[in-house]
Structure 1
Amino acid sequence: MSRLPFFPVSSHSFHSSHSSRRLVAARPRRAWLVACLLAAATLTTSPAFAAFPDKPIRVVIGFPAGGPLDQHARLLTERLQAVLGQPVIIDYKSGAGGTVGAQDVMKAPPDGYTLMLANTGVMVINPALYTRLPYNTLRDFTPIARTAMQPLALLVNPKLPVTTLKEFVDYARARPGQINYGSAGNGGISHLVPEMFKNATGLFMVHIPYRGSAPAFTDLMGGQVQFMGESIPQAAAYHKQGKVRALAVTSKARNPALPDVPTVMESGIKNFEVVGFYGFLAPAGLPADVTAKLSDAFKQVMTSAEVRNRMITQGADPAFMGSDEFGKFLAAEMPRWAQAVKASGAKLD
């Protein structure tokens, strides 16, 4: 603390006028001290300077409970609570392919207490699929962390006389328009990946959209549709039960849940790697320090061997990306999936 300047005077100068000058000179110093104390008190008590987080965090999922995103959220939030020292609450806001949940997060305060767990459909397919989407992926959200990649398995009805992807391609090519493929609905990843496969192979197959993957699986097992692309967990379970036959996986490497099933590229179709992703985002405008703390918390969670092993059993590949890298990933994925949507002809209002 700086001191007021000292002016030496003789003893006979201590009269009333000099005392008055000393008093006047002391007042600014006293006022400055009081101001400093008040400022310090404000900094320590203001919510803006409170340590983050100091209350529960809400994670919004734009789909009903019980699905793959819900499983992923529950797996990670168990550890996330321990890392951040606050409860993490999962809030389901389902509707319109995840759009309802995305809107809820977009409108929330950018304070780090509202996050969204989203997938490929919500963040990069919906912008190309919906003609009037109420959010912009790159403008309205702050990327926090990508946590997983999720490949699909290409499946056939087990009564089809094929055991490899090459045999299926030959079989379908000899029967143009006679092979039906099912999906969980127009414009979803289970629709677009088979469309990408059709374009890569020149096959002519007929798309049969369903309201969800469960009825599509039912008809695949019953033979009403002959082909399907679906996420690994359900595909692996039905494949092991002999109810469907997995011919290939769409990732670059084989999937631990289906170790004996080759990749599409191994099966002779070059450069065919198509995987979905899971990631956490917050409203746009999140402060950089809060973004960094949340991103680092997810990084810590992802170092757990138990979390990674359980993630693999759920059919997702651990694939952490921090905030900046995840943002660049989203920007690169959007035109790729937009092209797939355009090629499929799918559009939703």
Structure 2
Amino acid sequence: MFKLHRRALARTALAAALCSTALLAQAQAPAAWPSKPVTLTVGFAAGGSADILARAISQKLTGALGQPVVVDNKPGAGGTIAAAAVASATPDGHTLLLVTSGHAGSGALYPTLRYDPIKAFTPVIKLAATPVVVVAPAAQPWKSLSELLDAARKAPGTLNYAAGGGGATTTALAAEFLKKDTGTDMVQVPYRGSGPALTALLSGEVQVGFEIPSSALPHIQSGKLRALAVTTRTRSTALPDVPTVIEQGIRDFEVIGWFGVLAPAGTPAAVVERLNRELNAALQQPELRERLSGLGLESGGGTPAEFQKLIGSDTQRYGEAIRRMGIKVE
């Protein structure tokens, strides 16, 4: 009888251990993810560079995941409205955030944010890299960046410019860095994204624009906008005839923008790994690479850890520059 009792206890302990293992596995990775449509939140208005990229990526993910990937535009405050919404979302992999490199400067620009730009998110992947292009309507007389800067010096505070979504965006920071390095005074007019900013630029509401090539390129090609400079050290493959800021006499000037995907902190590692794998595969497809190249974007990729390192280094760089230059969001 003693032997039977001991065997029964052993069976009970084994069953309990198996049950605990199953419960732990369920907690670590949700079954059958995704189990419903996935929302890719974008902090900028429809028609801009972030929106264009989000829609291209969502199409690829929809096919790979077997569930619709829906783009949800929540423009305003340099992308921080969208980021706050995703930061507070359930971390189950069904709500994602497409960010620009301006995300790295958001903590310094917006000290009262309701979330931590680093701790509130789990990096998934860097999607693409891009220069900023300085543009002006064809009706303006400037044929080069030097001519624009001369005009700004002669009439301080009279030239208005648009910089994408404004605030915590790479385009806005590029404008601030350029003004600081050249001692010029131009006034930013805030818009909720590249789409509205370009509309204002084309209508003559503002005289200068700081944009991403993916948004401005069609208008440059049509002759409605004139590209004056790009902010990378080397010329853009999409705009090979446009000189860099450095070529036009501003030493060591470089601003590189990037786009990426974040998930809320606490998203299961298995989900992040699946998303990273599917997006890396999509970015290797010739069709998507060609489309990104045509928009002036360099295809990205890599691991979540590599993207996390990039975010951390740019957060330090942008934060130090914003505080040193005293940049404030009005």
TM range (shorter): 0.7 to 0.9
2:7 to 29, 34, 37: 29
CA distance in 2, matches of 1:91, 1:186: 19
Q: Does 1:126 align with 2:109?
A: no
Secondary structure, in 3 states, of the residue corresponding to 2:132? strand
Secondary structure, in 3 states, of the residue corresponding to 2:4? helix
Q: Please list every run of 5 or more consecutive structure 2 residues that lacks an aligned counterpart in the other structure.
A: none
1:1-349 alignment runs, 5 A limit: 23-33=1-11, 36=14, 40=18, 47-48=26-27, 51=31, 53-56=33-36, 57-121=38-102, 123-170=103-150, 172-173=152-153, 175-177=154-156, 180-184=159-163, 187-189=167-169, 190-202=171-183, 204-212=184-192, 213=194, 216-217=197-198, 220-221=201-202, 225-342=206-323, 343=325, 345-348=327-330
CA distance in 1, matches of 2:78, 2:152: 31
What amino acid sits opposite 1:347 in the alignment? V
CA distance in 1, matches of 2:279, 2:60: 9
CA distance in 2, matches of 1:224, 1:62: 23
CA distance in 2, matches of 1:137, 1:288: 19
- Alignment match, 1:14: none
Change (3 A) 1:236 1:35: same
Change (3 A) 1:170 1:106: closer
What amino acid sits opposite 1:136 in the alignment? D
CA distance in 1, matches of 2:267, 2:253: 36
C-alpha displacement at 1:199, in angstroms?
2.1
TM-score of the superposed pair, with normalisation by structure 1: 0.78
Query: Is the contact made by 1:181 and 1:205 (CA closer than 8 Å) also made in structure 2?
Result: no
What amino acid sits opposite 1:32 in the alignment? A
Q: Give a deviation string over 1:158-186, Cα, whole Å, max 9, x none.
A: 3444433344445555x251761412465
Query: Is the contact made by 2:200 and 2:206 (CA closer than 8 Å) also made in structure 1?
Result: yes
Change (3 A) 1:54 1:179: closer
Query: Is the contact made by 1:195 and 1:340 (CA closer than 8 Å) also made in structure 2?
Result: no
Secondary structure, in 3 states, of the residue corresponding to 2:118? helix
| Deviating more after overlay: 124-133 vs 178-187 | 178-187
What amino acid sits opposite 1:24 in the alignment? F
Secondary structure, in 3 states, of the residue corresponding to 1:272? coil
CA distance in 2, matches of 1:84, 1:344: 45
Query: Is the contact made by 2:232 and 2:254 (CA closer than 8 Å) also made in structure 1?
Result: yes
| Deviating more after overlay: 233-242 vs 160-169 | 160-169
Change (3 A) 1:257 1:209: same
Q: Give a deviation string over 1:112-141, Cα, whole Å, max 9, x none.
A: 2322112233x2232222241111111111
Change (3 A) 1:170 1:62: closer
What amino acid sits opposite 2:329 in the alignment? K
C-alpha displacement at 1:156, in angstroms?
2.8
Query: Is the contact made by 1:60 and 1:114 (CA closer than 8 Å) also made in structure 2?
Result: yes
C-alpha displacement at 1:62, in angstroms?
3.0
Change (3 A) 1:301 1:131: same
Secondary structure, in 3 states, of the residue corresponding to 1:299? helix
TM-score of the superposed pair, with normalisation by structure 2: 0.82
- Residue-pair matches, total: 323
Q: Give a deviation string over 1:270-311, Cα, whole Å, max 9, x none.
A: 322212221111111234343333222221221111111112
CA distance in 1, matches of 2:57, 2:204: 37
Over the residues paired in the alignment, what is the CA RMSD in angstroms? 3.1
Change (3 A) 1:90 1:260: same
C-alpha displacement at 1:330, in angstroms?
1.2
Query: Is the contact made by 1:151 and 1:276 (CA closer than 8 Å) also made in structure 2?
Result: yes
Change (3 A) 1:52 1:151: farther
